[in-house]
Structure 1
């Protein structure tokens, strides 16, 4: 952990034992690290798959620390062409090269990356000649929220493919307690579980709620963060008892007895269909508040109607 941390961003796990949840992932990575040490070889390529906010980047940082190797993080979205990809690969050192949201590389870039992983060299064409440049023996670690965006041959080059799970209520509450302890933030005993109930099984969301509750506590000059502070912050930010944000609540309110089609909902909410399917709908579908008919119509369930009755949608 960081020395004298005073912000949530200052607190990051530094070893596998600090990771809460994702036990199947950490155990697989521990074995991979031990095997690489025993064989005196670099770690095999790793692909981490899972929804946003579950801690993929933190896991890769811990992996680098466990291996005691340099760690370079690059957002794939920032790579606009193959030349930029080659520059990233050539600048990588003997350690971990982490490509976050690796599926955002276009197919041409993915094929180019595939060739580099196979040959460990970059081939540059210049007129009638081809220049071959070796790359460092780095381990590529990719993280993706959309594995379907990766070409099959590239996925096959990752010898370790791991899928992260959503967090349980207890695990999420433990994440909140861990961060409060690291930051020396005093809190009411019921606060972590109340945050977890609204955290949508996602650490990033739970920690954002913790930060919001603390902001209210600080503004009131309180010495500890209480459930009352959390409730006030949720009211201000329009977060429901189940953690639904304002957009999700509005979506529930738009679903009448006959439901609505995706494009109609997107138009009514003023967002793209991609935003709706990637960020707004998943939790509602996963928790049975809405369902999709065979024709793609979104329908409100009994659970959705019950939750809708607990708040007023503007």
Structure 2
């Protein structure tokens, strides 16, 4: 796509990733959301620290931007160890993985993002490393080939993936804790935004650091403004923090530093984002189905050709959120807009039985 979407859950730049790092909580106590996972991790961490053992291997899966990398850093902090970060596509040959594993210290955390893209040949090196803390390295080739076994220090592997179904069964079975991260509620996003806004000096800082995400002392204007950002954040903390940065810039330049709901509306309207977090590409996608294909059903390839976009991009980037909020239905015949989508776009569903009259522009 020609332009990065502000509403995308993926990290857009390295600068953004660095900025997000400064906003990340450092302990489970400060982590907001995912209560079931936090409870499981709290119990496991307390137990392994008492036994002075490494943390169990953890597999985190779910959409991007929900805090998988943050949790890896938190686990390392809780274990008082170091975290090494890499990604499946970055590991292209056995030497890459062997070099990382042999440098790990006792109880260190190895975080592998996009672990589903790890090559099968490299997975086999990880099997013995995860279970027996050793790796078998082949020296030379052909009739002179021999294998040596290298011991490695006990470590914790944390794998993150947006496509859990692409991870092989043998790899999945070696993780002691497997958890699917869920989208965040607006109340959780509000707490995250409050914490971030205080760290960014957008709102007054609370002297009690333990309640830095507490919303009880906020003025009604600030509270409603942060709620307006939370409602547009698609249940994703990364998007929430990105929108907050855009609002901060707008507030500083156009509103004299005063954060209000009207300022949030003006700032995000400038970005083409409405009250539900729908952006221009989402609207174009739905408008094509409504105007060109009479509300659907229509095949994804036909929509992509009409929009001049890649079908895979639409399926992975646009459709998930529209499905989540009930604006899109996937049927056996293709994609179809729902009544809720029609109402949001200012369309009305015709009572006519003629499929061509299913959607009509509202007067």
Correspondence for 2:152 among 110, 120, 135: 135
Correspondence for 2:308 among 270, 284, 298: 270
The alignment of Structure 1 onto Structure 2 pairs a total of residues equal to: 304
Partner SS for 2:53? coil
State the distance in 1 between where 2:238 and 2:193 align.
Answer: 10
Deviation at 1:270, TM superposition (A): 3.4
Deviation at 1:266, TM superposition (A): 2.4
Please say if residues 12 and 58 of structure 1, whose CA atoms lie closer than 8 Å, have aligned partners that are also in contact. yes
RMSD: 1.9
Given the two structures, how large is their TM-score scaled by the length of structure 2?
A: 0.79
Moved more, 251-260 or 191-200: 251-260
Deviation at 1:80, TM superposition (A): 2.2
Moved more, 82-91 or 146-155: 82-91
State the distance in 1 between where 2:258 and 2:20 align.
Answer: 16
Matching residue of 2:129: 116
Deviation at 1:166, TM superposition (A): 0.9
Matching residue of 1:206: 240
State the distance in 2 between where 1:41 and 1:8 align.
Answer: 30
Matching residue of 2:198: 181
Partner SS for 1:48? strand
Matching residue of 2:278: 244
Moved more, 64-73 or 228-237: 228-237
Deviations 1:42-77 (A, max 9, x none): 111111111111111111111111111111111222
Deviation at 1:273, TM superposition (A): 2.6
Structure 2 unaligned blocks of 5 or more: 1-18, 204-220, 348-360
Please say if residues 89 and 114 of structure 2, whose CA atoms lie closer than 8 Å, have aligned partners that are also in contact. yes
Q: Kindly indicate whether residue 339 of structure 2 is the aligned counterpart of residue 299 of structure 1.
A: no
CA 1:225 to 1:80, structure 2 compared with 1: closer, same or farther past 3 Å? Answer: farther
State the distance in 2 between where 1:66 and 1:137 align.
Answer: 16
Partner SS for 1:33? helix
Moved more, 47-56 or 230-239: 230-239
Larger radius of gyration: 2
Deviation at 1:220, TM superposition (A): 2.1
Please say if residues 99 and 143 of structure 1, whose CA atoms lie closer than 8 Å, have aligned partners that are also in contact. yes
Deviation at 1:9, TM superposition (A): 4.4
Structure 1 unaligned blocks of 5 or more: 1-6
